[in-house]
Each structure stands twice: as C-alpha cells, then as structure tokens.
Amino acid sequence: MAASTKPVMIVGVDESEQSFYALEWTLDHFLVPSAPNPPFNLIIVHSKPTPVSSMGFTVPGVDIMSHVDEDLKKIANRVVEKAKELCVSKSVTDATIEIVEGDARNVLCDAVERHHAAILAVGSHGHGAIKR
C-alpha cells in the first residue's frame, strides 16, 4: 500500500501582529494537538515587496533602490526568524519557510497553486467590523 501524502497548509506571514496571531492559532489548533504526527505539511510564506512597490516612486540618477532592497531583506529575515521561533516554541520543527518577492496577494495564490494547498491561513488587516 502506497504511503499517502499529507495535505499542505500555507500560512502567510508579514511583520504584523495579526499574521503571527494567525500562525500561532494555526499551530495551536492544527499541528500541536496531533504532534509528533501532524495531519498537515506546514509551509510558511512571507511576501517580500519589491523596492519599487514599497517606495512608490523612483529618483533618476540616485541609487536608493539597493538601500531599500537591503531594508526589505532585513525585514524579511526578521519575519522568518520570528516565525521559526514561534514554531520551535510550539515544538513544530518541520515547517518549510519561503520568502518570495512580489505582491502578497499574488505570492500567496501562487504558493497555494504550486503546493496544491488544502488550507490557506492569513491574519486580518487589523480593521474593526465597521471599517471592514
């Protein structure tokens, strides 16, 4: 009998408190209770914005893009480290973490399609019911 593969669960994270709440909630409700044999393969995806999209403008003759890109890489590394720490604190050591450059909406949809994910979890924007 062939071994069945586990369904994939993707959690999108950024530097927001809400995204880490979503990651923690996912760990607590789907992975920790069934440890050491969780029912899902967890993939954590961070979308790193492009320098141009985060600035909204360019300045001809001035190379600030490389500085902006360096800052975005530092933010991405901090997000990934925080996600790893949260997983380790919950004894989840087999999560895959990806950093993909691009718009978060497209990056997450592409990740779901690429990994054939059964579940996509993301945090809220932090808006209240009226603003939503």
Q: What is the DSSP string of 87-122?
A: HHHTT----EEEEEES-HHHHHHHHHHHHT-SEEE-
- Note the pLDDT tens digit of each residue in 49-99: 888 776 655 566 556 778 888 999 999 999 999 999 999 999 998 999 999
Check residue 1 and give its pLDDT. Answer: 43
Task: Give the distance from CA 42 to its chain's centroid.
Answer: 11
Question: CB-based contacts of 75: which residues, under 8 Å, 6+ apart?
Answer: 15, 48
* CA–CA separation, 24 and 95 (whole Å): 13
Check residue 30 and give its pLDDT. Answer: 92
- Note the pLDDT tens digit of each residue in 114-126: 999 999 999 987 6
